[in-house]
Structure 1
Amino acid sequence: MNPPDTTDCHHEAARFLAALDDDWAALVATVGPCLHAPKPAREPWQALLRAVAYQQLSVRAGDTMIARFLALYGAADFPMPEQVCATSPDALRGCGFSGRKADTIRGIAEAARSGVVPTLEQAREMDDDALIARLTALHGIGRWTVEMMLIYTLGRNDLLPADDLGVREGYRRLRRLDRPPTPRQMTELALPWSPHRTAASWYLWRVPR
């Protein structure tokens, strides 16, 4: 299966969301076209590692840690899983990763080496629920981390990470609510946005403050 071509889908998603109601129409008009850009060349294990690196950090801090991580191997591209497995926890912590993140990163690499984490080609043939079930069984990998991989690596067009604070806070501002919805409420609220929930997430991350 080839990587999805999302250009037409994003145009259709913007039109679909703008037609939902006045709030969505105003948001789409303010933000402009959906520019969501997956990275379909990344292997799933690489995407999971990146997602772990950025957990609870600013983009700038995450970028710095990834740059230090790549520098360990003397290359601008990702090392092989075997190389990461052979890297000591102390070396990973020297990049800025916490002890927990270092253990999780080594676990991801080992799972990629053993085939638990599928290759990109294999992952494209699996549905979202199957991937989430398999990958959240790994130590330190939660649903949000897998959802980021599904959105940004596999280019899935109908996925909303209901646990994501940015999505929930964006919805609060969109609707001018006192508090953001719970993850369960967010899942239910997003049902009418199918089959364009990924684009909806992208717009909610960009609701003006």
Structure 2
Amino acid sequence: MSDDAYRELKCDPHLGDVVEEHGPLSLDPADDPFERLVVSIVNQQLSTSAAATIRDRLFERVEVTPAGLLAADEAVLGDCGLSNQKIGYVRNVAEAFQDGFSAESLRAMDDDDVIDSLTEIRGVGVWTAKMFLIFVLAREDVFPVEDLGIRRGMERVFGFDVDTVSRGTMRERAAKWTPYRSYASLYLWRSVD
């Protein structure tokens, strides 16, 4: 984390206490972009603990590579806890990577183009694409308002009810954290962990 990002977020009247409590955080590119994208798909619309259980089973029983997921028996994937729909999604991602899709090709793109490219893969939505931007490409200015943890963090630091405040309002509030919204997101997640 740059000194500028830390200093700016620490001075924020709403987020500053969380920043001070947790200290500087870092964004590190993922070692394995394919694996990280599969993890994001597994995590979709699940509690943290349920996602962790499924993830652990999947990594224990299957080689999490494009070839490994495509070769895995559907029953084994289901036994890991993946729904039929998510089995299809991880296989779609595996096929895309096997056909030449790569993080390297996305690194040169701006954030919107990365989101557009990723969401062409069936099963990869905007939330998953934003997780890829943050946790694979280590982009510093992504605000995944689609994430429940982010919305709960906004609720905690701003003191409003996320059920009554629009995502547009949350985006407006987060705009002041530009160009460090990914770091702000890390702190929002920490505030509710």
Q: Please give the TM-score of this superposition, normalised by the length of structure 2.
A: 0.88
Take 2:88 and 2:37, find their aligned partners in 1: how far apart are those partners? 13
Question: 1:3 maps to which residue?
Answer: none
Candidates 107, 113, 117, aligned match of 2:98: 113
Distance, in Å, in 1 between the alignment partners of 2:183 and 2:152 is 16
Q: CA RMSD in A?
A: 2.1
1:129 alignment partner in structure 2: 112
Question: Which of 10, 17, 23 is the aligned partner of 1:18?
Answer: 10
Task: Indicate conservation of the 8 Å contact 1:89/1:103, yes or no.
Answer: no
Amino acid at match of 2:39: R
Matching of residue 205 in structure 1 with residue 189 in structure 2:
yes
Counterpart of 1:188, as a letter, is: E
**Counterpart among 35, 54, 79 of residue 43 in structure 2:** 54
Give the superposition deviation at 1:37: 4.3
Post-superposition shift, 1:201?
Answer: 0.8
* 3-state SS in 1 of match to 2:123: coil
Unaligned runs of 5+ in 1: 1-6
2:71 is matched with which residue: 86, 89, 104? Answer: 86
Cα distance in 2, alignment partners of residues 79 and 208 from structure 1: 30
- Kept in 2, the 8 Å contact 1:167–1:204? The answer is yes
How far apart, CA to CA, are the structure 1 residues paired with 2:192 and 2:95? Answer: 41
Match of 2:81 in 1: 96
Q: Which residue of 1 aligns with 2:19?
A: 28
Deviations along 1:102-148, whole A, 9 cap, x unmatched? 11111110111112x3x232222222111100111221211011111
**What residue number does 1:38 align with?**
28
Secondary structure in 2 matching 1:190: helix
Q: Say if 1:42 and 1:120, in contact at 8 Å, map to a contact too.
A: no
> Is 1:162 aligned to residue 162 of structure 2?
no
In structure 2, give the amino acid aligned to 1:18: K
Query: For 2:23 and 2:119, how far apart are their aligned partners in 1?
Result: 33
**Larger fraction in helix:** 2
Name the amino acid aligned to 2:12: L
The amino acid that maps onto 1:62 is A
Displacement, 1:189?
A: 1.9
Match of 1:4 in 2: none
Q: Does 1:177 align with 2:167?
A: no
Count of matched residue positions in the alignment of Structure 1 and Structure 2: 192
Partner of residue 70, structure 1: 59
